[in-house]
């Protein structure tokens, strides 16, 4: 191959490689963008039985990201708008991989237009949704959840556990949550769950993370006391806290106090999408140091290994700044509506009834909800008192 | 001759075009502004060993991130980012006044703050003694601090926000969202009795000129139809650097996610709160914002201070969408 042939080959291959590279890039972008938010439409059509034909449906936003906690799985967030003459709403949701894990309806006008009527009661609605979801997803775990729900005859806050599934029904004002949570060894794993939520008797949201999260372990080999001991040992040497004082920076060494620790058994992901039992141990300082008052130590309950340590604080303050106004406002002398009042300057400072308390410790103060009536009551009382006083003074000084 | 005809025609054409341009009404540009303030003052502390979080660094990173999101949006043609020593009380009050002169403005403020008690006073005119205070009514007021620990009080903000166009305010600080509040006016009850009010009491009221009867007290669950939304904390707020239990994220990540959804993805305030909640607490089965500790509140026993309560409040209309 001579030099000329090589030049020709280079001239041909370089554009081919560049074009190929660009196409690869484009397909990567497209695959990220084309994660299927239509799954949400299928769900709404087949489970909620939304009459899509009667809406003008627009995919307002859709994007995919790859968060580390999902171990490389794509996470797609989407927002649909639904508009018709009678009804208007947004639907926001999330896919992990190709699974619709969350969907929420934001109604703005009218009710959902359905292709098939639903039962009037929330319990009946939930049962119907689960039947349809079972047909739609064909997942075996839905059948088990449905059979637990079928045994519920009255809608009230309650819970029942069958095997590894705990059904929790929560009624809170207009909201009803119906959730099936994975439970094992007496522990709940709320990340692994299926849920429907209703507000004022209408469907609001859906979630299914059952097949997204795995259970890494349900062994609790470290008890609560041991967890506290591990936490105390880890906090033998608390890092130095640096604080500003004017232009100076001062170092403080916080120490733990005698307040009993706060201990909770939780679950968290040790590897992506795999849940393990976790002790949360909160140990308190002996006093507030700047904006910090405690330290949290998280310990894996199966191995006793420390997951993380972090301080707990607040964005308030230990004392108000120097220019906090006096407890009583000094109002500007009012413009006289009719005539200037005579006498001494009335704006003398009354005694400060109490010190300004720090944030969070403020006792409940009387709210000023009746502020418009208070002056009238005060006015009547004061007028009566003044009249009596003046009468007494007049009598004593024998003024006419 | 031909030359003259051409010139004449061109002149006529230009005159017509000129008239046409004259007849076009000038289009007024919409002025929208954003302000991000980070006032650390002397009340900010940080740990610097063993990988413990550093509030100074995290709050700086979060406020820069939020500010950059605004700068990246073509919807805003005015902006201000104030950090640390650049944030003085006079600067804050001037910014409020300046940005309230636009068509739309929004503020994000990271700082320290408290609530405290002042008193409305009833003065009476007493013969021989003149005006004397006769009755006191406690009123909760609110203040946050600049970088020099100077307090910015609710009643000082009110005069700067007349006919407020500051439609979305998010103050990450203690206490600023405890209540919507109301305006406590000063007025004559009679010629001899004067009611001296303490002015605007409550940050939402001070920023929006809407009182507790005019804004939804739960703009997340029951948004009103108004143009305003205020997010703030009742009681104590959390440091942005504080790690969220069971995750490798902190509360700063919540703020970043929230603003990203507002400004890049066009979500409403409530939708952005929901998505941020899912992104942070999804592993715990949290469905939306009302499943979070922010919405439901949190208690803790603070050494020497007793039991403290904290909660994030959304007032007004969380259904609003920010220009993006």
Q: For residue B210, give every residue at least 6 positions away whose Cβ sits within 8 Å of its Cβ, in sequence order, or none.
A: B180, B204, B226, B228, B316
Q: Does residue A22 fall inside a structural domain? A: no
| DSSP single-letter state for residue A48 | I
Q: Are strands B166-172 and B104-110 parallel, antiparallel or unpaired?
A: parallel
Contact A74, A65 (CB under 8 A): yes
pLDDT in tens, B207-247: 999 999 999 999 999 999 999 999 999 999 999 999 999 99
Token digits for B138? 């406690």
Parts of chain A with a pLDDT under 70? 1-35, 245-246, 316-400
Note whether A245 contacts B: Cβ–Cβ < 8 A.
yes
Cα separation, A170 vs A155, whole angstroms: 9
Token digits for B304? 């020497």
What is the tally of structural domains in chain A?
2
The verdict on A278 and A298 lying in the same domain is: yes
The verdict on A196 and A234 lying in the same domain is: no
Q: Does residue A325 fall inside a structural domain? A: no
Domain end residue (candidates: A186, A213, A240): A213
Residue A23 pLDDT: 38
Residue A208 pLDDT: 97
Domain end residue (candidates: A170, A187, A213): A213
Residue tagged 């109301």 (tokens): B182
Contact A204, A198 (CB under 8 A): yes
* Domain membership of residue A256 as a residue range: 224-313
Residue A250 pLDDT: 82
Q: Which sign, positive or negative, has the C-alpha torsion A96, A101, A107, A110?
A: positive
The alpha-carbon gap from B3 to the nearest alpha carbon of chain A, in Å, equals 54
Note whether B283 contacts A312, CB cutoff 8 Å. Answer: no
The alpha-carbon gap from A9 to the nearest alpha carbon of chain B, in Å, equals 44
Contact B275, A77 (CB under 8 A): yes
The verdict on A47 and A153 lying in the same domain is: yes
The verdict on A260 and A122 lying in the same domain is: no
Cα separation, A326 vs A259, whole angstroms: 35
Instruction: Tell which B residues from 59 to 118 touch A, by Cβ distance under 8 Å.
Output: 111-118
Note whether A329 contacts B196, CB cutoff 8 Å. Answer: yes
pLDDT in tens, B176-193: 999 999 999 999 999 999
Q: Does residue A338 fall inside a structural domain? A: no
Of B125, B192, B246, the CB nearest to A278: B246
Residue A384 pLDDT: 55
Mean pLDDT of all residues in B109-131? 92
Note whether A314 contacts B302, CB cutoff 8 Å. Answer: yes
The verdict on A130 and A165 lying in the same domain is: yes
For A309, nearest residue in chain B (alpha carbons)? B52
Note the ipTM here: 0.86
The verdict on A45 and A121 lying in the same domain is: yes
Note whether B266 contacts A79, CB cutoff 8 Å. Answer: yes
Q: Does residue A386 fall inside a structural domain? A: no
Nearest partner of B239 among A58, A337, A316, judged by Cα: A316
Taking the model in full, what pTM does it have? 0.82
Note whether A310 contacts B300, CB cutoff 8 Å. Answer: no
Q: Count CA atoms within 13 Å of residue B61 on its CB side.
A: 14
Note whether B173 contacts A: Cβ–Cβ < 8 A.
yes
Q: Does residue A133 fall inside a structural domain? A: yes
The verdict on A194 and A90 lying in the same domain is: yes
| DSSP single-letter state for residue B158 | G
Q: Which residues of B touch A326 (CB under 8 A)?
A: 118
The verdict on A156 and A272 lying in the same domain is: no
Listing DSSP states for A100-165 in one string gives: EEEEEEEEEES---BSS---SSHHHHHHHHHHHHHHHH--HHHHHHHHHHHT--S-SSEEEEETTE
Residue B29 pLDDT: 79
Query: What beta strand segments (E) does chain B contain?
Result: 32-38, 45-47, 78-83, 104-110, 113-126, 130-145, 151-153, 166-172, 182-184, 187-190, 193-196, 199-201, 229-235, 298-302, 306-316
Stated as kind and residue range, the H or E segment containing A170 is strand A165-172
Q: Which residues of A touch B92 (CB under 8 A)?
A: none
Residue A395 pLDDT: 54
Selected residue with higher pLDDT from A388 and B292: B292
Q: How far apart are the first and last CA of chain A?
A: 132
What strands, in cross-sheet order, belong to the sheet with A88-96? A56-65, A75-83, A88-96, A99-109, A202-208, A187-199, A175-184, A165-172, A158-162
The alpha-carbon gap from B125 to the nearest alpha carbon of chain A, in Å, equals 8
pLDDT interval class at B52 (50, 70, 90): confident
The verdict on A247 and A296 lying in the same domain is: yes
Note whether A390 contacts B: Cβ–Cβ < 8 A.
yes
The verdict on A209 and A237 lying in the same domain is: no
Token digits for B209? 């000129």
Domain end residue (candidates: A313, A334, A369): A313
Residue A359 pLDDT: 37
Token digits for B122? 């009833």
Selected residue with higher pLDDT from B123 and B2: B123
Is the CATH number 3.40.50 carried by domain B32-113+143-181+201-316?
Answer: yes
The verdict on A234 and A291 lying in the same domain is: yes
Token digits for A95? 């896919």
Listing DSSP states for A337-349 in one string gives: SSSPPPSS-S-PP
Residue A335 pLDDT: 35
């Amino acid at each position: 191959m001579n030099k000329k042939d090589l030049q020709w080959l280079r001239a041909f291959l370089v554009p081919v490689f560049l074009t190929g590279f660009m196409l690869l890039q484009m397909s990567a972008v497209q695959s990220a963008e084309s994660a299927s938010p239509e799954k949400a439409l299928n769900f709404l059509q087949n489970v909620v039985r939304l009459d899509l034909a009667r809406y003008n449906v627009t995919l307002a936003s859709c994007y995919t990201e790859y968060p580390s906690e999902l171990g490389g799985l794509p996470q797609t967030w989407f927002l649909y708008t639904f508009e018709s003459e009678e009804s208007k709403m947004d639907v926001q949701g999330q896919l992990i991989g190709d699974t619709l894990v969350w969907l929420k309806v934001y109604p703005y006008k009218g009710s959902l237009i359905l292709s098939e009527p639903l039962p009037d009661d929330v319990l009946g609605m939930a049962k119907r949704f689960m039947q349809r979801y079972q047909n739609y997803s064909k997942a075996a775990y839905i059948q088990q959840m449905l059979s637990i729900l079928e045994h519920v005859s009255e809608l009230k806050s309650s819970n029942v556990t069958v095997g590894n599934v705990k059904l929790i029904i929560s009624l809170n004002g207009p909201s009803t949550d119906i959730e099936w949570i994975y439970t094992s060894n007496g522990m709940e794993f709320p990340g692994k769950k299926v849920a429907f939520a209703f507000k004022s008797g209408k469907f609001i949201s859906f979630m299914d993370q059952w097949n997204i999260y795995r259970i890494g372990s349900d062994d609790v080999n470290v008890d609560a006391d041991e967890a506290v001991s591990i936490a105390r040992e880890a906090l033998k040497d608390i890092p130095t806290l640096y604080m500003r004082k004017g232009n100076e920076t001062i170092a403080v060494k916080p120490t733990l106090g005698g307040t009993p620790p706060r201990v909770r058994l939780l679950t968290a992901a040790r590897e992506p999408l795999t849940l393990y039992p976790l002790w949360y141990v909160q140990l308190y300082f002996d006093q507030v140091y700047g904006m910090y008052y405690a330290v949290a130590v998280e310990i894996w309950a199966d191995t006793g290994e420390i997951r993380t340590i972090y301080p707990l604080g607040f964005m308030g303050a230990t004392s108000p700044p120097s220019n906090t106004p006096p407890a009583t406002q000094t109002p500007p002398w009012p413009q006289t509506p009719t005539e200037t009042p005579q006498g001494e300057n009335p704006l003398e400072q009354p005694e400060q009834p109490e010190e300004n308390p720090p944030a969070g410790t403020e006792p409940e103060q009387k709210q000023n909800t009746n502020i418009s009536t208070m002056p009238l009551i005060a006015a009547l009382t004061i007028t009566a008192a003044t009249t009596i006083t003046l009468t007494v003074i007049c009598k004593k000084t024998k003024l006419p | 001759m031909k030359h003259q005809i051409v010139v004449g025609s061109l002149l006529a054409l230009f005159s017509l075009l000129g008239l046409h341009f004259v007849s076009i009404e000038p289009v007024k540009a919409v002025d929208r502004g954003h302000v991000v303030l980070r006032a650390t003052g002397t009340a900010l502390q940080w740990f610097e060993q063993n990988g413990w979080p550093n509030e100074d660094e995290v709050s700086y990173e979060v406020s820069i991130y939020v500010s950059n999101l605004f700068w990246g949006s073509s919807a805003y043609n005015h902006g201000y980012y104030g950090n640390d020593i650049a944030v003085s009380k006079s600067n804050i009050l001037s910014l409020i006044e300046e940005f309230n002169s636009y068509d739309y403005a929004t503020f994000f403020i990271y700082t320290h703050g408290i609530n405290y008690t002042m008193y409305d006073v009833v003065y009476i005119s007493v013969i021989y003694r003149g005006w004397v205070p006769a009755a006191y009514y406690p009123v909760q007021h609110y203040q946050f601090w600049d970088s020099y620990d100077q307090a910015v009080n609710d009643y000082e903000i009110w005069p700067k926000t007349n006919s407020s166009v500051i439609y979305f305010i998010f103050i990450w600080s203690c206490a600023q969202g405890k209540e919507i509040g109301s305006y406590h006016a000063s007025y004559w009850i009679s010629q001899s009795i004067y009611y001296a009010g303490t002015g605007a009491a409550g940050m939402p009221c001070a920023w929006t000129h809407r009182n507790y009867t005019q804004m939804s007290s739960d703009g997340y669950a029951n948004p009103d139809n108004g143009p305003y939304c205020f997010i703030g904390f009742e009681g104590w707020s959390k440091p942005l650097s504080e790690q969220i239990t069971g995750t490798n994220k902190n509360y700063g990540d919540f703020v970043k996610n929230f603003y990203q959804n507002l400004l890049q993805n066009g979500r409403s305030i409530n939708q952005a709160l929901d998505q941020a909640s899912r992104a942070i607490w999804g592993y715990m089965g949290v469905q939306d914002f009302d499943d979070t500790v922010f919405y439901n509140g949190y208690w803790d026993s603070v050494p020497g201070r007793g039991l403290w309560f904290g909660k994030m409040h959304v007032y007004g209309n969380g259904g609003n969408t920010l220009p993006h």
